[in-house]
């Protein structure tokens, strides 16, 4: 139980990568704050399952990560009920695929708010208690798109490159306080975020959906395999462990060799 007694907040943890990370940290003994949208009954069932399986407290807060006031309320609640956040995983994210000169303004603003600014807000609000305890782990779920670009993803690539910069900056500011800050850069993981963009990418490129998977998504990954949510969760758990105390300010690929091209 490497995280026994610790509290973890995983944003966007009702689905995909975030849910796998929440399960993995709970398996290590951490109390969990789940966040994200979804069906209330399904979320209640996820909470019950994780709490029963691992004997940890599982809270849920549906804060909309595009709203600083909602993030502040969630952080105040988490700190009030769990005494502080030891492991902060900024994972909530959305995607929209369109040529830059047709990119909807509301999508640009939402992607920057959820994929980038939300991590600024959770980080600034979590740090005081981490500093007091002399321990903290911040893992930002970025993307291979924090390292390289793809056409038609201007907002996403800008936000993910931005979070790589935020990661390095905060890591330097807190390096002596026992707090590490790192960014993970997954390649394609078959979650709802990816399956939803396949039709739009097909339209933008004028090719079939099968061709998008073969010639666009997996073409980027030399392994020709999707990364799995379990692999990203295991990597996150390692970064939160004591063994990873010397890894900070790092922007770490987990993308089947994509950015080695």
CA 135 to the chain's CA centroid:
20
Report if residue 94 touches ligand NAD, rule: CB under 6 A.
yes
Report if residue 141 touches ligand NAD, rule: CB under 6 A.
yes
Report if residue 9 touches ligand NAD, rule: CB under 6 A.
no
Report if residue 182 touches ligand NAD, rule: CB under 6 A.
no
Report if residue 91 touches ligand NAD, rule: CB under 6 A.
yes
Other Cβ atoms within 10 Å of 22 Cβ, number: 30
In terms of DSSP H, where are the helices of 30-153?
A: 40-54, 68-82, 105-112, 118-133
By C-beta, is 17 or 171 nearer to ligand NAD?
17
Q: Least separation, in Å, of the C-beta of 27 and ligand NAD? A: 18
Q: Which of 122, 143, 201, 248 binds ligand NAD (CB under 6 A)?
A: 143
Determine which helix (DSSP H) or strand (DSSP E) holds 139, and give its type and residue range. Answer: strand 136-141
Judged by CB under 6 A, which stretch of 46-54, 99-107, 119-127, 181-189 contacts ligand NAD? 181-189
Report if residue 64 touches ligand NAD, rule: CB under 6 A.
yes
Residue reference for tokens 């940290």: 25
Q: Which of 7, 18, 152, 164 binds ligand NAD (CB under 6 A)?
A: 18
Count the residues of the shown chain that bind ligand NAD, applying the rule CB under 6 A: 29
What is the rounded distance in angstroms from the CA atom of residue 239 to the CA atom of residue 18? Answer: 15
Report if residue 17 touches ligand NAD, rule: CB under 6 A.
yes
Give the active site residues: 156
What is the rounded distance in angstroms from the CA atom of residue 177 to the CA atom of residue 217? Answer: 40
By C-beta, is 228 or 241 nearer to ligand NAD?
228
Q: How far is CA 52 from CA 4, 11, 40, 164, in A?
A: 15, 21, 18, 36
Report if residue 186 touches ligand NAD, rule: CB under 6 A.
yes
In the sheet where 58-61 sits, what is the strand order?
A: 58-61, 31-35, 7-10, 87-90, 136-141, 179-186, 251-254
Structural tokens at position 171? 């890591």
Q: Which of 3, 15, 161, 237 binds ligand NAD (CB under 6 A)?
A: 15
What is the rounded distance in angstroms from the CA atom of residue 92 to the CA atom of residue 188? Answer: 16
By C-beta, is 135 or 191 nearer to ligand NAD?
191
**Residues at the site binding ligand NAD, with contacts judged by CB under 6 A:** 12-18, 35-38, 64-66, 91-94, 114-115, 141, 143, 186, 188-189, 191-194
């Amino acid at each position: 139980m490497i995280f026994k007694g610790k509290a973890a907040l995983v944003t966007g943890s009702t689905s995909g990568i975030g849910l796998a990370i929440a399960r993995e940290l709970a398996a290590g003994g951490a109390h969990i704050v789940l966040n994200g949208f979804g069906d209330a009954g399904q979320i209640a069932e996820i909470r019950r399952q994780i709490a029963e399986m691992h004997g940890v407290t599982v809270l849920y807060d549906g804060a909309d990560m595009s709203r600083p006031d909602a993030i502040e309320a969630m952080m105040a609640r988490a700190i009030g009920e769990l005494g502080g956040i030891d492991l902060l995983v900024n994972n909530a994210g959305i995607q929209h695929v369109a040529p830059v000169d047709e990119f909807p303004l509301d999508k640009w603003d939402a992607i920057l708010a959820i994929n980038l600014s939300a991590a600024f807000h959770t980080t600034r609000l979590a740090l005081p208690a981490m500093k007091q305890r002399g321990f903290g782990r911040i893992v930002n779920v970025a993307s291979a798109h924090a390292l390289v670009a793809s056409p038609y993803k201007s907002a996403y690539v800008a936000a993910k490159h931005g979070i790589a910069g935020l990661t390095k900056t905060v890591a330097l500011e807190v390096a002596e306080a026992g707090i590490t800050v790192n960014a993970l850069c997954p390649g394609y993981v078959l979650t709802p975020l990816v399956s939803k963009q396949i039709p739009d990418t097909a339209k933008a490129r004028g090719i079939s959906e099968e061709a998008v998977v073969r010639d666009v998504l997996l073409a980027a990954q030399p392994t020709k395999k999707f990364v799995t949510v379990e692999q990203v969760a295991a990597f996150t758990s390692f970064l939160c462990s004591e063994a990873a105390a010397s890894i900070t300010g790092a922007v770490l690929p987990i993308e089947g060799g994509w950015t080695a091209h």
